[in-house]
Amino acid sequence: MGVRYTKKKLEEMSLKVIKKEKLTWITEVVAFLPITRATFYNKGLDKLDSIKDAIELNRLSMKVRMKHKWFNSDNATLQIALMKLMADNEEWDKLNSTKQQVKSETSGSIQFDFN
């Protein structure tokens, strides 16, 4: 028979590995523990606020670091991606719109804006 872990011990192990490995998904946490996925879920570890909060903190920290890198980058694609994250509705529409111009010999020029 294998080693039996208490829910509290598994929670502690989970929090330690989340912090050490900078994990962002429950499935990653399970992979680092010496238990099965079924055991993890049967013990309700996926529902613990402490585990969910630790994962969310890692996600938030990564997002902040990525935004700083994108801001300081000379890569136009990264800068556009950052602008889309920060844009208000009007700016978003301008970044994503496609304008096409159709010319007619009889009526001059007509402009269509496809959003």
The pairs formed by 15-22 with CB atoms below 8 angstroms and a separation of 24 or more are: 15/50, 15/51, 15/54, 18/51, 18/54, 18/55, 18/58, 19/54, 19/58, 22/58, 22/61, 22/62
Q: Model pTM?
A: 0.70
Q: What is the mean pLDDT of residues 57-77?
A: 93
Domain residue limits, the chain: 7-114
Which is more confident, 31 or 112?
31
Q: Which residues pair with 101 in a beta bridge?
A: 111
**Residue position matching structure tokens 């989970």:** 14
Residue 1: is its pLDDT beyond 60?
no
Which of 94 and 71 is assigned the larger pLDDT? 71
Summarize the confidence of residues 93-108 as an average pLDDT.
Answer: 67
| pLDDT tens digits along 20-64 | 999 999 999 999 999 999 999 999 999 999 999 999 999 999 999
| Residue count of the chain | 115
> Tokens standing for 81?
């991606």
Q: How is residue 98 written in tokens?
A: 């496609």
- What are the helix (H) ranges across the chain? 7-21, 26-32, 37-42, 49-72, 76-86, 89-96
User: How far is Cα 95 from Cα 87, in angstroms, rounded to an integer?
Assistant: 9
